[in-house]
Amino acid sequence: MIPPDKIEEVRLANDIVGVVQEYVALKRRGQNHWGLCPFHQENTPSFSVHPGKGIYRCFGCGKGGNVFSFLMEVEKLTFMEAVKALAERAHIDLPVYSKREGDAPSEVEQIVEANQTARDFFHTQLLSTPTPGARHALEYLTGRGFTNEMIQAYMIGYAPEGWEGLAERARNSRIPLDVFVKAGLLKIGQQAGRPYDVFRDRVMFPIRNLAGRVIAFGGRRMSEPEPGEPSAKYINSPETAAYTKGRELYGLWEARNEIRRHDRVILVEGYTDAISLASSGIRTVCASLGTALTEQQARLLLRFTPNVFILYDGDEPGLNAAKRAAEVMLSCGAQPRIVEVPGDEDPDSFVRAHGPDEVWALVNGARGLVEFQTDRGKRSNLPVAQIARELIASAALIPSSIDREAFLQEVSGKTGLSLDALIAEMTQIRRPQNLRETRRRKSVWPPVGAARDVIEALLSSPEIQQEFMPKLQIDLIKDELLRTLAAAMISMFESRGEAAPEILATEFVTSPVSDFLASPYNDVLESLQDRDLSDSDRVSRDRRRAASGLVAMQLEVANFELDAVQQMLRQQELSAERITELFRQYHDVKKRIELLTKEKNPNTP
Ligand SMILES: [Zn+2]
C-alpha cells in the first residue's frame, strides 16, 4: 500500500491542466479551462478543468473528479496504475509496496509491458546488432531520408529474420509468455508447441497512445515472401485489450505538443509518410494507420486542433480517400482542408524530391472540400449536376445548420446552381437526424433534497465548512452513499481543518461521488449565471443554502416522525395511557416543525 500522504504528494505534483492537455486542447475562459470532452462525443466544449482546485467536470456526460480519476478513465487504468504513471510523470519515487491481490496488473498493463519489452528489443536490433538483416533495414530507412533523430523519436526497430529472436527475449523477461501471445507478438507452434515470432524481417513502427505507451506495432516487410508464404507488405498487431483498430492515430503522441503549439495538423495515411515529413522538419503530422479515417480518430485529432490538413497520395485512390476523410471531419463539425500532391506522387516521395518548403507551399494552397471536388469534377468533365449532387451528399453530413448552409452557398457559387435548388435537393436526401444517444448520464445520484444541498454548499468553500460542518448530523441523511461521503468530509475536516473535494476525490475515485465532488467548481450554471457574482456574494449565497438546507434536513425528519405518530394513533385498542403519550409526542413534533418552519422562513409571521 502506498501511504495516503504520498498519493496526495503525487496528486499535487501533477498540474491537472497539464495532464488533461496531453489528451485535449484547453482554452481558458473565466476560472476554468474548457475543451472537447474525451469521454463523450461532442462538437462544442462542455468539459471544464478548474486549475485551482485540481478538478475536472463535464456537464455533458457528468464525468468529473481529480487527476487520478481522469487518467484511470482516459487510459483505462486501475487506481494503482494511475498513481504510478503520475508519480513517474512528476519524477516522484514511490516506496516499493508489497503486491496484494488488488494490485495485480490489468491485462492492458501486461500487454503494454510486453509491447514495450518488444519495442526495446526491436530498437536494439536495428541500431546495435550487426546482422545483414538489420543493416539492410537501416539502409532502407536512411535511404528514405529518415534521420537518426526521428528513428529515435519514433523508436523504430527491426524484427530479425528467424523464428525465435523475440521469443528468446520473452523467455528471459519476467512477463509470462502467454502475454506476448495475447499481444500478438508470438504464436505457439502447432506441432512443437514452442512459441515463435509473428513479426520476422520487418521494420517495426511502435504505435503509442496518448500516454506514450506502446499499444501495438505496424511492421513493414523487408524481403520478398518465400514461395507459398503469404506475407503482406504491412502487418499490424491484432486488436487486444490495449488496442482497438480505428481509435488511435500514429505519431499523435510524438507530435502532440507541436500540433498544439502551431494549432494545426497534417494528416497522412502511412507511417512512412509521417516519418518522412517529420524528418524533413515538418513535425505537426500524424497518420491514420492505413485504414480509412474513422469518426473516433477524427474526434481524437480535433481535441488538439480544429485546423486539419489532409495530405494523402496524389493518385485517384488517394484523392478518393482524402475526400472520404474530409467527409468524416465534416460530420464531426470540422472544416478540413485537402492538400493535393501533384502527379501520382505520395507525400513521402514528394518531400524527398522537393523538400519541406514545397510541401508548405502545397499546404498553403489547400482547399476545402467544395473547391477540391469541383476542380476534380471539372478536370474529369463531369456534368455540373453530378458534381453538385455529390457535394450535397457531403453537406448532409454537417451537423450544424449554419455550417451546412454556408457549405451549400459555396457549392452554389462554384456551380452556378441556385441555393434554393441545392437546399431542396438536400432536404430529400438528408438522413434522419443522427439519433445516436448523446449518452447523457442521468443525474440519478445524489438524490435531490436538503442533504444534497447542504453537502454541495459545504463543498463550495472552507468558510462555509467552518461555520456549518459542526452542525451536520449525518444520521439525518437517508442516502447511504451520501452519508458515507458526509462521514468522510467530517473526518477530513476534523483532521485537516478542511474537507477538500479534490483530495476526497481520491478516496472516491471509482464511485459516482467523484463526479459530484467536482460539480460545485465546474458546473455550467455556475459559470454562466454566476460569472458576475463576487466571491463574497458567492459565499453568502452558499451560506444561505447551507443554513436553510440544515433546517430542511431536520424538517424532513420531523415530518417523517409526525407521520409515524399519526399512523399509530389510528390504530385501535390503544390504552388510554398510550393515547395520552402519543398525543404528547404529536404536539412535541408539531411544535418542532413550527419552530423549524419559522427558522427556515424567518420573514413570514
Ligand atoms: Zn463528457
For every residue of 283-301, which 3-state class applies, written as one string?
A: CCEEECCCCCCCHHHHHHH
Question: How confident is residue 111, by pLDDT bands cut at 50, 70 and 90?
Answer: very high
Rounded to the nearest whole angstrom, what is the distance from the C-alpha of residue 36 to the centroid of ligand 1? 8
Q: Three-state DSSP class for 241?
A: coil
Fold of domain 4-103: DNA Primase; Chain A (3.90.580)
Q: What is the pLDDT of residue 432?
A: 45
C-alpha cell at 499: 474537507
Q: What is the pLDDT of residue 605?
A: 54
Q: What is the pLDDT of residue 439?
A: 36
The whole-angstrom separation of Cα 278 and Cα 443 is 46
pLDDT digits (tens, 9 = 90+) for 172-206: 999 999 999 999 999 998 887 899 999 999 999 99
Handedness of CA 491, 496, 497, 500 (dihedral sign): negative
User: In angstroms, how far apart are the furthest CA atoms of the chain?
Assistant: 107
Cα distances from 3 to residues 9, 72, 312, in angstroms, run 10, 19, 52
Rounded to the nearest whole angstrom, what is the distance from the C-alpha of residue 323 to the centroid of ligand 1? 29
C-alpha cell at 87: 508519480
- As beta bridge partners, residue 29 has 32
Rounded to the nearest whole angstrom, what is the distance from the C-alpha of residue 526 to the centroid of ligand 1? 17
Decide if pLDDT at 435 tops 50.
no
% the chain with pLDDT above 90: 52
Q: What is the Rg, in whole angstroms, of the alpha carbon atoms belonging to the chain?
A: 31
Q: Three-state DSSP class for 146?
A: coil
H-run or E-run covering 337? strand 337-339
Q: What is the pLDDT of residue 290?
A: 66
Q: What is the pLDDT of residue 438?
A: 36
pLDDT digits (tens, 9 = 90+) for 317-348: 899 999 999 999 999 999 999 999 998 889 99
C-alpha cell at 446: 445524489
Query: CATH for 107-236?
Result: 3.90.980.10
The whole-angstrom separation of Cα 381 and Cα 378 is 5
Decide if pLDDT at 296 tops 60.
yes
How confident is the model over 86-110, as a mean pLDDT? 75
Rounded to the nearest whole angstrom, what is the distance from the C-alpha of residue 61 to the centroid of ligand 1? 4
Question: How confident is residue 572, by pLDDT bands cut at 50, 70 and 90?
Answer: confident
Rounded to the nearest whole angstrom, what is the distance from the C-alpha of residue 500 to the centroid of ligand 1? 23
Name the burial class of residue 243, with classes exposed (0-12), middle (13-18) and buried (19+) by CB atoms within 10 angstroms of its CB.
buried
Q: What is the pLDDT of residue 433?
A: 42
Rounded to the nearest whole angstrom, what is the distance from the C-alpha of residue 369 to the centroid of ligand 1? 29
How confident is the model over 25-36, as a mean pLDDT? 88
Question: How confident is residue 460, by pLDDT bands cut at 50, 70 and 90?
Answer: confident
C-alpha cell at 582: 402519543
Mean of per-residue pLDDT scores for the chain: 87
How confident is the model over 407-434, as a mean pLDDT? 83
Q: What share of the chain is helix, strand, coil (3-state, %, to 5)?
A: 55, 10, 35
Decide if pLDDT at 441 tops 60.
no
C-alpha cell at 338: 485537402
Closest CA to 342 of 326, 329, 353: 353
How many other C-beta atoms are found inside a 10 Å radius of the C-beta of residue 212? 12
Decide if pLDDT at 97 tops 60.
no
How many other C-beta atoms are found inside a 10 Å radius of the C-beta of residue 498? 14
Q: What is the pLDDT of residue 399?
A: 86
Q: What is the pLDDT of residue 14?
A: 94
The whole-angstrom separation of Cα 491 and Cα 587 is 36
Rounded to the nearest whole angstrom, what is the distance from the C-alpha of residue 293 to the centroid of ligand 1? 23
Rounded to the nearest whole angstrom, what is the distance from the C-alpha of residue 38 to the centroid of ligand 1? 7
Rounded to the nearest whole angstrom, what is the distance from the C-alpha of residue 524 to the centroid of ligand 1? 12
Rounded to the nearest whole angstrom, what is the distance from the C-alpha of residue 385 to the centroid of ligand 1? 41
The whole-angstrom separation of Cα 125 and Cα 219 is 14
Rounded to the nearest whole angstrom, what is the distance from the C-alpha of residue 440 to the centroid of ligand 1? 8
What's the CA angle centered on 80, arms 212 and 177, to 5 degrees? Answer: 65
How many other C-beta atoms are found inside a 10 Å radius of the C-beta of residue 107? 14
Residue in the structure block whose three cell numbers are 502506498: 2
Question: How confident is residue 130, by pLDDT bands cut at 50, 70 and 90?
Answer: confident
Rounded to the nearest whole angstrom, what is the distance from the C-alpha of residue 537 to the centroid of ligand 1? 29
C-alpha cell at 486: 458526509
Q: What is the pLDDT of residue 185?
A: 97
The whole-angstrom separation of Cα 593 and Cα 554 is 9
Helical pair 401-415 and 384-395, crossing angle rounded to 10 deg: 170
The whole-angstrom separation of Cα 510 and Cα 106 is 16
CATH 3.40.1360.10 is held by the domain 257-366? yes
CB 250 within 8 A of CB 271: yes
pLDDT digits (tens, 9 = 90+) for 211-252: 889 999 999 999 877 776 667 888 889 999 999 888 889 999
Q: What is the pLDDT of residue 351?
A: 95
What does pTM read for this prediction? Answer: 0.70
Name the burial class of residue 523, with classes exposed (0-12), middle (13-18) and buried (19+) by CB atoms within 10 angstroms of its CB.
middle
pLDDT digits (tens, 9 = 90+) for 47-69: 999 988 899 998 888 899 999 99
Count each helix (H run) and each strand (E run) in the chain, helices first: 27, 15
Rounded to the nearest whole angstrom, what is the distance from the C-alpha of residue 41 to the centroid of ligand 1? 7
Rounded to the nearest whole angstrom, what is the distance from the C-alpha of residue 442 to the centroid of ligand 1? 12
C-alpha cell at 375: 476542380
Name residue 548's amino acid. S
Rounded to the nearest whole angstrom, what is the distance from the C-alpha of residue 59 to the centroid of ligand 1? 7
Residue in the structure block whose three cell numbers are 424532513: 556
Q: Three-state DSSP class for 537?
A: helix
Alpha-carbon dihedral angle through residues 299, 302, 304, 305, given to the nearest 10 degrees: 180
C-alpha cell at 378: 471539372
Q: What is the pLDDT of residue 440?
A: 38
